[in-house]
Amino acid sequence: MSTSDDTERAEQPEQPEHATGGVYTSAGKKFTRDTNYITTRITADGRDGYPVQAGRYRLIAARACPWANRTIIVRRLLGLEDALSIGFPGPTHDERSWTFDLDPGGRDPVLGIERLQDAYFARFPDYPRGITVPAIVDVPTGQVVTNDYAQITLDLSTEWRAYHRPGAPDLYPEEHREEIDAVNRRVFTEVNNGVYRCGFAGSQAAYDRAYERLWSALDWLEERLIDRRYLVGETITEADVRLFTTLVRFDPVYHGHFKCNRSTLREMPALWGYARDLFQTPGFGDTVDFAQIKAHYYVVHRDINPTGIVPAGPDLSGWVSPHGREALGGRPFGDGTPPGRVRPDERVDEAHTPLRLG
C-alpha cells in the first residue's frame, strides 16, 4: 500500500484568487484543487508519533462534504464508533473555518472549540492553507493530526484493524489493490474532482474541456457497471465509497449548480441502479443528509450562486425504489456482515433522507 493516494495530489494549485474550505479558484483559468495536506499518519506502530489508540482521536467530518462523507461511511462500515469518536460541523462555513454550530453553545462537546481552525492552529500557529474536513484531531492536545482524506480511509481499513467490528468488510483487499488504485485514479481526476472543475471553471474553454472529461468518465463507468454490481471484484471496496459520495450529490447539486447537465444520474440506468444499490446498503445512505448537502453548496458558493437560494428539489423518493442489482450477484460485505443500527446521536435527521431509519 502506498503511503498516500498519489492521484489525489496530481494537480498542483495555481495562485488562488480566493480559498474556502480548501477549494481554490483562479479567475479566467481552469479549476485546480490544492492537494497539499497534512500527511501525518495514525498507524498501528505509531511511526509518525501517533499510534492507533481507542478513544484518543476525534474525527471531524461535515456531512455536507463528499470527501468527509467517505470517512463517515468507512468508519461505520468497519464499526469504529467506539474507537474513534466523531464530530459534525454544520453544513456552511465562512472564509475562515468550518464551525460547530449544530452543537449546544456552538462548541464541539469533546474538543471544546467553536471553529475547526482552532485545532489546526494548535499544532501549526501559522497554518497557511484551507481549513478542511475531514480532519482527525488528537484529543489530549487538541491538535490536528491529519486532513489527508485520501489516506485517512485507507488507514482506517488497514491500520485500525484491531478495532474493527466482528464481520467488518475488507474494503481494501490485497488481491484487488492494484485495480482499486487504478479505478480510483480515474474516478478522482475525472469524476470526484471533475464536477468541481466544471463548477469552478473560470472560462468557457476551461468549462468545455472539463465537461467533456467528466462525461467521458461517466460514460466509461456506465459501461463498466452494466454487468458488474461493484466497481472492483464481488464486494464493496474503497472504490465504491469514493464514487458513491459524488453520485449521491449529482442530481441535487452537481447537475445544476456545477453545470454538469448533459443528463441527470437518473437517466443513466447502470449508474442510477448502482447508486441506489449502495444507498440502500447499511452504512451508505444512512450517512447522507441531503438538506445539509444542498445548504452547503448553494449557500457557501456565493460566487456561482449569488442569491444563496437553495432549490426545493429534486424529488428524493427514487433513492429507495427497487434497483434490481442483486441479479448481478456479488456479496456486499463478502464473508462479513452489515453494520448494525446507527447510533441515536449519529442519526441523520429523518426529514433530510428518504430512508426509513427506524
Q: Output the CA torsion 22→251→154→186 (10° steps).
A: -90
Which pLDDT does position 96 carry in this prediction? 87
- Phi, psi (degrees; rounded to nearest 5) at 78: -85, -10
C-alpha cell at 289: 443528509
Catalytic residue among 50, 196, 211, 297: 196
Which residue, among 272, 265, 255, 243, has the nearest Cα to 185 in the 3D structure?
243
Cell of 151: 489516506
> Cα dist. 144→70, 106, 348 in Å?
19, 19, 26
- State the pLDDT at residue 357: 77
pLDDT at residue number 94: 87
- Which string of DSSP letters, residue by residue, matches 176-216? GHHHHHHHHHHHIIIIITHHHHHHT-SSHHHHHHHHHHHHH
To the query of whether residue 196 is one of the catalytic residues in this protein, the response is yes
Cα gap 45→50, rounded to integer Å: 8
Q: Say if residue 158 is exposed, middle or buried (CB neighbours under 10 Å; 0-12, 13-18, 19+).
A: middle
The pLDDT, as a whole number, for residue 18 is: 28
Handedness of CA 225, 6, 99, 70 (dihedral sign): positive
The pLDDT value recorded for residue 12 is 34
- Cell numbers 511511526 correspond to 47
Phi, psi of 319 (to 5 degrees): -65, -25
The pLDDT assigned to 1 comes to 37
Digits of tens for pLDDT over the chain (358 positions)? 333 344 444 443 322 222 334 344 444 466 566 668 999 999 999 999 999 999 999 999 999 999 999 999 999 999 999 999 999 999 999 888 999 999 999 999 999 999 999 999 999 999 999 999 999 999 999 999 999 999 999 999 999 999 999 999 999 999 999 999 999 999 999 999 999 999 999 999 999 999 999 999 999 999 999 999 999 999 999 999 999 999 999 999 999 999 999 999 999 999 999 999 999 999 999 999 999 999 999 999 999 999 999 999 999 999 999 999 999 999 999 999 999 999 999 999 999 999 987 6
57 among known catalytic residues: no
DSSP 119-144: HHHHH-TT--S---SSEEEETTTTEE
User: What pLDDT, on a 0 to 100 scale, did the predictor assign at position 356?
Assistant: 87
Grid cell listed for 89 = 460541523
How open is the CA angle 190-192-196, to the nearest 5 degrees?
A: 85
- Selecting among 24, 37, 50, 65, the annotated active-site residue is 65
- Interacting residues of 148 by C-beta distance below 8 A, sequence separation 6+: 4, 37, 38, 39, 40, 41
Provide the pLDDT for residue 33: 60
CB 60 within 8 A of CB 134: yes
Contact criterion met (CB below 8 Å) for 76 and 236: no
Q: Which domains does the chain have, with CATH numbers?
A: 6-163 (3.40.30.10), 174-352 (1.20.1050.10)
Residues 6+ apart with CB under 8 A from 19: 34, 95, 129, 130
